[in-house]
Amino acid sequence: MRKKIVAGNWKCNTNLQEGIELAKKVNTLVTSMAATDVVVVLGTPFTHLAKIVESVNTARIGIAAQNCAAEAKGAFTGEISAEMIKSTGADYVILGHSERREYYAETSEVLNRKISLAIENGLTPIYCCGEPLRIRETGTQNAFVKNQLEETICNLSPDDFRKLIIAYEPIWAIGTGKTATSEQAQEIHAFIRSVIAEKFGNEIAEDVSILYGGSCNAKNAKELFANKDVDGGLIGGASLKVEDFIQIINGF
């Protein structure tokens, strides 16, 4: 069944002690909320995963890595495998974030290996897609995003596809304070769902959660989440501010 999800992406922020403190604060507030059907996830640096898993109530808060290796194991100095991530107690991994595609040259081919390894190791991929400004300005964002999907997650088997979450993140909105309007978000989320329906059928398309990411904050979350095809958010900057993050969760 389609889930409502608010996932934080801390990126390369917080040292271990700061990260534990932040996670504990989020945990206190989330566990004191009345039972809710919103799934809360914290995407932390690798170094924090195991400790943060121990510091929160994992029945209420899921923990995500922000990347994983494209290889299962072996002589790949500095890499962190999907199996290693799973062994920390984390259950999710953010894959295909535009910062990784751009700064670390992650291609669709590399992403396909990462997605498969994540799924094989029992991690839920939060698969990111989204267009740069030059594409939005020419009005070709649907074709751009469709191509990203077709080169990656559309290659999965239906059973594996059911295991992932999609995050639509227009690059021009990430960390810029410029949010997609509610209409823009709904329009492209509905389009993404139609691409999935074409490939996997309506039932699977209706079940997949599609999150919005890109300067989503305490003020605009409610309006964005009110859209039929927006099932929550992937939150960067605002996930580092406890009160803002909680307000975003309360945006449903």
Positive or negative, the Cα torsion across 155, 160, 161, 163?
Answer: negative
The least CB distance from residue 127 to ligand PEP, in Å, is 12
Which residue, 164 or 205, is less far from ligand PEP as judged by CB?
164
User: Rounded to an integer, what distance in angstroms lies between the CA atom of residue 125 and that of residue 237?
Assistant: 21
The least CB distance from residue 217 to ligand PEP, in Å, is 7
Nearest to 64 by CA among 14, 103, 104, 8: 8
Which residue, 125 or 200, is less far from ligand PEP as judged by CB?
125
Which residue, 9 or 186, is less far from ligand PEP as judged by CB?
9
Nearest to 7 by CA among 225, 189, 194: 225
Count of residues engaged in binding ligand PEP, rule: CB under 6 A: 13
Taking the chain, what is the end-to-end CA distance rounded to the nearest angstrom?
Answer: 17
Which residue among 45, 62, 170, 214 contacts ligand PEP (CB under 6 A)?
214
Task: Examine the residue annotation and report whether 48 is marked as an active-site residue of this protein.
Answer: no
Nearest to 61 by CA among 87, 41, 80: 41
| Helix 141-151 with 108-120: angle, nearest 10 deg | 50
Q: Would you give the binding string for ligand PEP spanning residues 4-33, x where CB under 6 A is met?
A: -----x------------------------
Tell me if 195 sits within 8 A of 188, measured CB to CB: no
Which residue, 11 or 193, is less far from ligand PEP as judged by CB?
11
Which residue among 156, 237, 244, 246 contacts ligand PEP (CB under 6 A)?
237
Which residue among 175, 203, 219, 226 contacts ligand PEP (CB under 6 A)?
175
Candidates 106, 131, 169, 189; catalytic one: 169
Task: Examine the residue annotation and report whether 54 is marked as an active-site residue of this protein.
Answer: no
Which residues would be at the binding site for ligand PEP (CB under 6 A)?
9, 169, 174-175, 213-216, 234-238
Residues labelled as active-site residues:
97, 169
